Amino acid sequence: MHIILSALAAWAIAQGLKIVIGFAKTKKWDWRLLTASGGMPSSHTALVVATSCRVGMLEGFESTAFAVCVVLSMIVMYDAVNVRQSVGVQAKKLNQILETFRKSGHLDEDGVKEILGHTPLQVAGGFVIGLLVGLVEL
């Protein structure tokens, strides 16, 4: 249960920080950020790193379980920076095309979500949160 609590705590802290960071930038509280993907810090990264850290501390850093956690964490972080970030760029381009069609009156569709992935700094922020939370006994 300690592993799950650490993972959820890391996710909640990361998501909560998105609200605080959003307020610092816009001077408005945006509670939708509590469940938003993308942005600073990466809550996916925080969750998997906290999980890996707790598994390592409880099962041992030489255990198979820890190795699996580390590999899955690496996949999540790679995906956040590369795959999901690329999808976000494609979404932005698609929305530009859709806007052109909307202006011409040929289309009445909503755009797609653009902020899907993370920058390396956002993933690093999630990594630090996950590491710190994972090292704390809950």
Separation of alpha carbons 125 and 127, rounded Å? 5
Q: Decide if 127 contacts 77 (C-beta within 8 A).
A: yes
Give the chain's end-to-end CA distance (angstroms, integer).
10
Separation of alpha carbons 117 and 38, rounded Å? 5
Query: Which pLDDT value is given to residue 114?
Result: 62
Q: What predicted TM-score, i.e. pTM, was given to this entire model? A: 0.79
pLDDT above 70 for 115: no
- To 10 degrees, what angle do helices 2-26 and 43-59 make? 150
Separation of alpha carbons 38 and 115, rounded Å? 6
C-alpha distances in angstroms, 41 versus 2, 15, 29, 136? 23, 8, 17, 19
User: pLDDT tens across 59-97, in order?
Assistant: 999 999 999 999 999 999 998 888 766 777 777 888 788
